[in-house]
Structures are given as structure tokens and as C-alpha cells.
Amino acid sequence: MEAPAIIWNENMQRFETEDKAAFLEYRLIRPAAAADRKGEVSAESPSVEEEGKGDRTVMDMLHTFVPRSKRGMGLAKHLCVAAFSHAQSRSMLVIPTCSYISDTFLPQNPSWSPLVYNEEFRSSM
């Protein structure tokens, strides 16, 4: 089976299939900016390349959804790989809030674990 096309919908802060039926929602957080605007990053915020290491953007992966009619096709995994690849290419860390990501995807794909935000990074942020 051919891998489905996954599209980054920056305005909606999600990765989605072409038909928009399956998606992974996220929000961007800059921990050092938590006092301003609740730490959320907007289009006007500096890019990751412009930010210092102590002000790294974190992608909080909130929810993964695949409709019943499309379950069992590996779409959730493809959505996760697209989101983790996106975060990695932009030097972001990830918070796996979504239970599918934390309980299923990461244990089955431990190579992505180094991107996961944890307490060790907090002191440098």
C-alpha cells in the first residue's frame, strides 16, 4: 500500500490527510515566553532559527483522529511521522499529550524519543 499524502496545515495547526478526514492537532509553545501570551507561538513569532537555545519552541501534540472508516490503515502512524519529522527539521521538542502518541506510537517507534520534551530540558529553557 502506498503511503498516504500528509499535508501540513499551518493555519489550523495540524497535519492532515488530503481529504482532511484524519488529522493530528498541535499547538506551539515557547516555554521562555510563557509569561507573555501564555507561551503560544503565532505566525508573527520568531522562527526557530532566530530563537536561542534557551527559547526553543515546543510542539505539543494534542490529538490524533482517524475516522472509523479509515482505521487500521496506518494513518495515525503516518500523521505522527510527518509531525515528528516537521518538529525535528525545525529543532523543536515535542510534548506527546495525545495518548495514541505517548502510549502507542512512541513505544513502537523509540527512535523519535530524543525529541520528547522532559524535565532535563526545563532548566535550559
pLDDT tens profile 62-76: 999 999 999 999 999
Which candidate in 59, 87, 93, 98 is catalytic? 98
Predicted TM-score of the model (pTM): 0.78
pLDDT tens for 74-120 read 999 999 999 999 999 999 999 999 999 999 999 999 999 999 998 54
pLDDT for the residue numbered 1: 62
pLDDT tens for 27-57 read 999 876 543 444 554 444 443 333 444 568 9
Other residues' Cβ atoms within 10 Å of the Cβ of residue 110? 8
98 included as an active-site residue: yes
